Amino acid sequence: MRAARLALKVLACLCLLIGLVWMGQGSGYFPYPASSFMIDQTPWIIYGGLVCVAGLALLFVSRSRS
């Protein structure tokens, strides 16, 4: 059970990180790499926000399990 909780926490942190990067690229605050198709594209802000919410939910689930 301990391994499953750790795996959920790692997955949650990855989701949060990926979501923040997507939001940064979609808003133009993180324009790397310069040739990325995601830069200044509003849908990627939304997709990143959804991935962040999923990461927060996974983090909540991993902490609430006994």
Question: What pLDDT score does 65 carry?
Answer: 62
The yes-or-no verdict on residue 6 having pLDDT over 70 is yes
pLDDT digits (tens, 9 = 90+) for 34-66: 888 999 999 999 999 999 999 999 999 888 765
The yes-or-no verdict on residue 2 having pLDDT over 90 is no
Burial 33-44 (b: 16+ CB within 10 A, else e): eeeeebbebeeb
Question: What pLDDT score does 44 carry?
Answer: 95
Helix axes 42-64, 2-27, angle to 10 degrees: 160
pLDDT digits (tens, 9 = 90+) for 7-25: 999 999 999 999 999 999 9
Structure tokens at 4: 């499953």
Give residue 56's domain range: 2-64
- Counting the structural domains of the chain, the total is 1
The answer to whether residues 18 and 64 touch, using CB atoms and an 8 Å cutoff, is: no
Provide the 10 A C-beta neighbour count for residue 24. Answer: 18
Q: What is the pTM of this model?
A: 0.86
N-term to C-term CA, the chain: 9
